[in-house]
């Protein structure tokens, strides 16, 4: 059996760590292409100037358009070439990070997230969009980023909703990795570089990936609530440090080397509902995780544990919570069909999944989530009387 595990060359996390960015640039050379939205650059301008002076390096600002498109990637590769850049930096959120991966193509890449909203920073994959913002393709590169640099001080000052969304994305990691392992399904870690249509690698998950995914889940349960309170007050605590690590590193390694399953596929299907578009990826994945647990008939104690965690940190537990206030049978069927297309990760579940089964699981999960939410509200009212 062929197994695979992939990870960044170096992961560094700490307070005010952005001040050391210049050092990591200097390990490649003197000049770095900086791919970041202008607002993110403005937030950390002082730290960038300080680290550049301290380590004798320079940043080439790219005028990033904000969209990870093939045209923008080609433009930025030319900017890097014209300025003899020794490495590429992706600083900010998902689009800047994915664009930097495409520009670097697996070489000399430093990722600096300014929010902990997803587990994408550590991965060797990216999502390409058209210039108008529609989905184009997935891209995979020969290796993960050379350096992932996490400044917890900066992340603590970002809106708490980003951190909570990251917990929603991380919540699915263990359950999807567990399903993938049970099914002996393939994981992304074994893929060669190239675009999705060129994929030919097949590999199964390792025990290492499943262990990291499980640790991710336990960390969320132990530190999620405390980390949320810390972020509300823009404070870096041990709990916040642990959750940032869970959201980015543990979840990142867990999803890429452990595998995706129903939760992310159901997320993809539910995006057909326009009401979901104002909600973040991780928020929708959290509900997708609940649907997956219903789909596999998970023990009630496990489902209740997940529901309780979601409510404790403010993650969705029903369709209303992700902007779906009403739906028709046909609309729900279309969403389920999208979740079940041949290339979706739902087929990594350890049993055959049908459109009808997904519809039933969504409706049931919605009902269970609503009832659980009402029950917790009643208990809260009794406690306060």
Catalytic annotation, residues: 169, 264, 267, 281
- The answer to whether 281 is a known ligand-binding residue is yes
What is the distance between the alpha carbons of residues 99 and 102, in angstroms, rounded to a whole number? Answer: 5
Which residue's structure tokens are 């509902």?
Answer: 273
Q: Do the Cβ atoms of 190 and 271 come closer than 8 Å?
A: no
What is the distance between the alpha carbons of residues 225 and 213, in angstroms, rounded to a whole number? Answer: 19
Q: What are phi and psi of 129, to 5 degrees?
A: -125, 160
What is the distance between the alpha carbons of residues 216 and 264, in angstroms, rounded to a whole number? Answer: 17
- The answer to whether 137 is a known ligand-binding residue is no
3-state class of 221 per DSSP?
Answer: helix
Within 10 angstroms of residue 358's Cβ, the number of other Cβ atoms is: 26
- The answer to whether 268 is a known ligand-binding residue is no
- The answer to whether 314 is a known ligand-binding residue is no
What is the distance between the alpha carbons of residues 144 and 26, in angstroms, rounded to a whole number? Answer: 19
Q: Do the Cβ atoms of 62 and 33 come closer than 8 Å?
A: yes
Spell out the residues 6+ positions from residue 299 whose beta carbon is closer than 8 angstroms to its own.
none
Q: Do the Cβ atoms of 281 and 165 come closer than 8 Å?
A: yes
What is the distance between the alpha carbons of residues 291 and 295, in angstroms, rounded to a whole number? Answer: 6
- The answer to whether 96 is a known ligand-binding residue is yes
Q: Which residues are annotated as a binding site?
A: 94-98, 119, 123, 129, 169, 264, 281
Q: Which residues are annotated as a binding site for glycerol?
A: 119, 169, 264, 281
Q: Which residues are annotated as a binding site for NAD(+)?
A: 94-98, 123, 129
């Amino acid at each position: 059996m062929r197994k695979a595990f992939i990870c960044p060359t170096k992961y560094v996390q700490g307070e005010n760590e952005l001040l050391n960015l210049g050092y990591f640039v200097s390990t490649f050379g003197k000049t770095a292409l900086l791919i970041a939205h202008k607002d993110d650059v403005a937030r950390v301008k002082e730290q960038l100037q300080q680290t550049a002076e301290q380590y004798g390096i320079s940043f080439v600002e790219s005028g990033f358009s904000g969209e990870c498109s093939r045209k923008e990637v080609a433009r930025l590769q030319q900017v890097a070439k014209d300025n003899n850049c020794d490495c590429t930096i992706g600083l900010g959120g998902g689009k800047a990070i994915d664009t930097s991966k495409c520009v670097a193509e697996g070489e000399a890449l430093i990722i600096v997230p300014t929010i902990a909203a997803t587990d994408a920073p550590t991965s060797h994959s990216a999502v390409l969009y058209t210039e108008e913002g529609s989905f184009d393709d997935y891209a995979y590169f020969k290796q993960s980023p050379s350096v992932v640099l996490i400044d917890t001080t900066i992340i603590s000052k970002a809106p708490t909703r980003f951190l909570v969304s990251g917990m929603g994305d991380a919540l699915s990691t263990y359950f999807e990795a567990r399903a993938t392992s049970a099914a002996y399904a393939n994981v992304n870690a074994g893929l060669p570089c190239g675009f999705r249509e060129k994929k030919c690698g097949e590999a199964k998950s390792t025990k290492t990936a499943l262990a990291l995914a499980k640790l991710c889940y336990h960390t969320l349960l132990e530190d999620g609530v405390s980390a949320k309170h810390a972020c509300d007050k823009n404070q870096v605590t041990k709990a916040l440090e642990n959750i940032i690590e869970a959201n980015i590193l543990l979840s990142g390694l867990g999803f890429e080397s452990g595998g995706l399953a129903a939760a992310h596929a159901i997320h993809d299907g539910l995006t057909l509902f326009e009401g979901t578009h104002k909600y973040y990826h991780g928020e929708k994945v959290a509900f997708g995780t609940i649907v997956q647990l219903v789909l596999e008939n998970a023990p009630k104690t496990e489902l209740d544990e997940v529901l309780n965690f979601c409510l404790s940190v403010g993650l969705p537990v029903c369709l209303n919570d992700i902007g779906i206030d009403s739906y028709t049978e046909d609309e729900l069927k279309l969403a389920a069909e999208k979740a079940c297309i041949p290339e979706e990760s739902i087929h990594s579940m350890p049993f055959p999944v049908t459109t009808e089964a997904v519809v039933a699981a969504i409706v049931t999960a919605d009902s269970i989530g609503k009832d659980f939410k009402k029950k917790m509200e009643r208990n809260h009212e009794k406690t306060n009387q």
